[in-house]
Structure 1
Amino acid sequence: MECKRDKNLKNCNCSYDPCPKKGICCECLHYHRKMRQLPACFFPPEYEKTYDRSFELFAKLVSEGKV
Structure 2
Amino acid sequence: MADYEKMKKACPNLQANLAQCTCTYSACDKTGLCCQCVAYHRKMRQIPGCFFTSEGERGYDRSYGSFCGDCS
TM-score after normalising by structure 1? 0.82
Task: State the match for 1:35 in structure 2.
Answer: 44
Q: CA–CA distance in 2 between the matches of 1:16 and 1:60?
A: 20
1:22 is matched with which residue? 31
Structure 2 gaps, min length 5: 1-10
State the Cα distance separating 1:61 from its structure 2 match: 2.9
What percent identity do the matched residue pairs reach? 47
User: Quick one: distance in 1 between partners of 2:53 and 2:68?
Assistant: 13
What value does the CA root-mean-square deviation take over the aligned residues? 1.3
Which of residues 34, 54, 60 is equivalent to 1:45? Answer: 54
- Following TM superposition, where does structure 1 have runs of at least 4 consecutive aligned residues deviating by more than 4 angstroms? none
Q: Which one has the bigger helix percentage?
A: 2
Please state how far the C-alpha of 1:57 moved relative to its aligned partner. 1.4
Give the Å deviation of 1:5: 1.1
Unaligned runs of 5+ in 1: none
Aligned positions, number: 62
Q: Which residue of 2 aligns with 1:59?
A: 68
**Residue 56 of structure 1, CA deviation:** 1.4
SS in 1 for 2:20: coil
Calculate the TM-score normalised by the size of structure 2: 0.77
CA distances 1:18-53 after superposition (whole Å, capped 9, x unpaired): 211001000000110111111111001111011001
